[in-house]
Structure formats: C-alpha cells, structure tokens
Amino acid sequence: MQKIDFLRHIVNRMLAEKGAPKQIVDDVRKIVGKAEDKYKFSSFGGDVRNLAEFIQSRDFDDLIAIFKSVGSIDILVEILKRAKEAYKDYPNVVAAIESRLKELTSGVEDVKARIEAAYNMLKTLEDKGYKVEYDKDNLRVRLKRDGVDLEVKYDTDKKCYKLKYEIKGELSASSYTHLASIAREIDNFVRRLRF
C-alpha cells in the first residue's frame, strides 16, 4: 500500500486543486519542507505520527499566518480535513488536526456569517444597477456596474470589513472653470472615501 505523504500528496495537491495564490505557494512549501526535516514526519523515512507535533507547534502558527495574509484560510482547512482522513489510523495526529480545525473554522464561520450579512445588505443596491455576487469559496462580495468594481472581505485580525474599489469614467468639460469644478467634486468624493 502506498504511503500518503503530507507535503507531496496532500499539501502540494491541495494548493494546486484550490488554485492557491501564487504569492504563498512557495512560502507554504518551504515552511512544510523545513518542518518535515525538523519533526521527521515524512512518509519517506520518517514517522507520520510526528505530524501531530508540527500541527501543534509555533511553526504551524507561521503557516496559518501565511494563509491568513491572503485570505485563504479555507485552503488550509481543506488540507487539514484531507490529512485527517488520510491519517485516521493515527489517533494523536487526528486529535491535533481536530484541535486546529476547531480553532480555524470558528474564525471561518464568523467571517462567513459577516460576509453573508454584507451580501444581504448590499443586494439592496441591485435596484441602482449594481450586479452583486457572493463568492462563497473566497468569502467575498463583488459589486459591479459600468465603471465601478468593488470587492468586500472581512479582516478577522482588524475586526472590520475591507473594501477594495476601482472607479473608472470619462467626463467632458466645456471650459476650464467647468473643468476646475469637476476636479473639485472628484477631490471631495475621494476625501469622503478616506474617512
């Protein structure tokens, strides 16, 4: 029977399947690779039971921080769920995974509830011509209309909604005084957005 290796058969495959952001893939592989050497949990010459020690360690906290930095904690949750199934015959590994899953999913459920609430509220803008979409996989809401593109996420560390926006448009001015008036309106609008 083929041994299931945490880094090669679970982490790498899940990163590829879930389309993990490129900026974290190398960092994740590096952290897990170093941990493999440190805790000796590789299925190629190590003992998979040592994976429990890594999952409970500060090194794993660093891994969590990387996924959180790009709002992709759901990928780490899926990695742990797959590992739990793969190593179900190792009670110490399963216990460590369950503990981390409880810690991680409580935050994910909170984010999911907050994003769903934002989605329900923002749907009221559909009557103003916005297309409002709820991206469940990435826990975000997108609003689009001609020249306007907004993305809403929830930052668990800062306990606030984050709004990324892009506004493009074109106006015409009949004179330089009209042009100055438009420029002032745009400046006032931008200042109001900065709160």
- pLDDT tens series, the chain, 195 aa: 458 999 999 999 999 998 888 889 999 999 999 999 999 999 888 899 999 999 999 999 999 999 988 878 889 999 999 999 999 999 999 999 999 998 888 776 678 888 888 898 898 889 889 999 998 877 889 999 999 999 999 887 777 889 999 999 999 999 999 999 999 999 998 888 875
Q: Which of 169, 170, 122 is nearest to 147 (CA)?
A: 169
Q: Which of 110, 116, 160, 156 is nearest to 136 (CA)?
A: 116
CA distance 122 to 167: 18
Written as six digits, the tokens of 182 are 């438009």
Domain ranges of the chain: 6-113, 121-193
Residue 195, class by beta-carbon neighbours within 10 Å (0-12 exposed, 13-18 middle, 19+ buried)?
Answer: exposed
For 161, list phi and psi in degrees, rounded to 5: -80, 140
Task: Note the pLDDT of residue 2.
Answer: 54
In sequence order, which residues have a C-beta less than 8 Å from that of residue 25 and are 6 or more positions away? Answer: 15
User: For the whole model, what pTM was predicted?
Assistant: 0.58
CA distance 18 to 74: 9
